[in-house]
Amino acid sequence: MAQVSLNNIIKSYGSSQVMHGVTFDVADGEFVALVGPSGCGKSTLLRMVAGLEDISGGTISIANRIVNDVEPKERDLAMVFQNYALYPHMTVRQNMGFSLKLRNAPKTEIETRVAEAAGILGLKDYLDRLPKQLSGGQRQRVAMGRAIVRQPAVFLFDEPLSNLDAALRVQMRAEIRALHDRLQSTSIFVTHDQVEAMTMADRIIVLRSGRLEQAGAPLELYDRPANAFVAGFIGSPAMNLLRGQAVDGMIKLTPKLSVPLPAAADGPVIWGIRPEHLSLVPAGSEGALRVRVTAVESTGHATFVMGDMDGIMITALFTDRPPLSKGDQIYLKASPEKQHLFDTTTEVRIN
């Protein structure tokens, strides 16, 4: 169990800097998700914590010890890889016990720890199989089992669910979280899937192009994104982010289309409203936006409506099933207290 602190982390390859001073702490026992689009540096950051990647500036400390120049094996952490990296010629038992064997742990201790981990992960019947005889989900469990037997201070997960199919991903999501609650270990979980981050993490750290955009609890990020990037990245379907001009308490989205300004602002702004915070209202209601439906998609539990309002695309989501079809004229109203306003140039939140 340990706290992990990253302080002003910088990474450069030659003259190109890819990490621009990232700072955050992971508390002892906390489950933190690093999310961001491809190339944002989340995996690099994780690999720097692991010691697999050098850092060009800043400090990383684990359990109050600066580990910048500490070998990976001395950092007391275990990592689960996206492709599992199980040794193909070793059985599940050998794979799980391998790190202990390398440390010359007594045979009986290896046996007990492997048995214990196998019990937790439901792998007892598969201990003598080879990785190729297992399903994707089982391999994923073995990879976790291998991490568990080490009893590390910190668990690092590098997109461990990306190779699984959708149903299994949902299941493993819950399993990993349950495992975390049981072991009470510090965990850092890298993913590009914001749903994974939202459902699993105590705290989410959003990265973009080597910069920390926002850190906070999942719902905090959802309810009050610090900037337009986080607003668009967290939440599915993505938030509607519409550019306009703030004039006289209104946002002019197009010459013919305006919405009331939710906070004091002047000049160019980005108005944000989540699809689920738009509701159908009768024609002529106050503040209603006239929308022509361009597409309707239903997943059963939710209906997505894509529409065109004076040339601007907007998405709405309803959990009842409004009888709509392409070409219909509808009126949408944004919940006043659920609106977001961002500065156009800095993309920073205004309200």
Partner 1 sequence: MSALRPMGSERWWVWLFLLPTLLGLALGTFGSIFATIGLSFTNWDLLTPPQWAGVDNYADLPAGRMFTKAFWNTLAFSGLYVPLTVVLSLVVAIGLNRRIKGIGWFRVMYFLPAVCSPTATGLLWNWIYAPDNGVLNAAVTAVGVSPVSWLGPRMALYSIVVVNVWGAIGGGMIIFLAGLQAIPKEYFEVTRLDGATAWQRLRFVTLPALAPSLFFQTVLTTINAFQAFDYIYVLTSSGNGNSTMPTLVFSIYRSGFRFFRMGDAAAQAVVLTAMIFALTLVYFRLQKKWGEA
Nearer to partner 1, 150 or 208 (CB): 150
- Determine the distance from the C-alpha atom of residue 148 to the mean position of all C-alpha atoms in its chain, rounded to a whole number: 23
Which one of 66-74, 211-219, 307-315, 337-345 is the stretch in contact with partner 1 (CB under 8 A)?
Answer: 66-74
d(CA 61, CA 153): 12
Per CB under 8 A, does 182 bind partner 1? no
Give how many residues touch partner 1 by CB under 8 A.
Answer: 22
**Using a CB cutoff of 8 Å and minimum separation of 24, what contacts does 242-245 make?**
242/270, 242/271, 242/272, 242/273, 242/312, 242/314, 243/268, 243/269, 243/270, 243/271, 243/344, 244/268, 244/269, 244/270, 244/271, 245/269
Options 1, 23, 52, 182; binder of partner 1; rule CB under 8 A:
52
DSSP 348: B
**Binding piece for partner 1, criterion CB under 8 A, among 5-13, 58-66, 77-85, 118-126:** 77-85
CB of 65 to partner 1, least distance (A): 17
Which is closer to partner 1, CB of 146 or CB of 169?
146
Check binding of 167 to partner 1 (CB under 8 A): no
CB 239 within 8 A of CB 232: yes
- Judged by CB under 8 A, which of 65, 73, 256, 321 binds partner 1? 73
- Tokens found for residue 90: 């070793």
Residue 13 or 348 having the CB closest to partner 1: 13
The sign one gets for the Cα dihedral 65, 71, 76, 79 is positive
Of residues 92 through 151, those in contact with partner 1 by CB under 8 A are 98-99, 102-103, 146, 150
User: What does the binding site for partner 1 look like in residue numbers (CB under 8 A)?
Assistant: 50-52, 71-74, 77-79, 81, 83, 85, 87-89, 98-99, 102-103, 146, 150
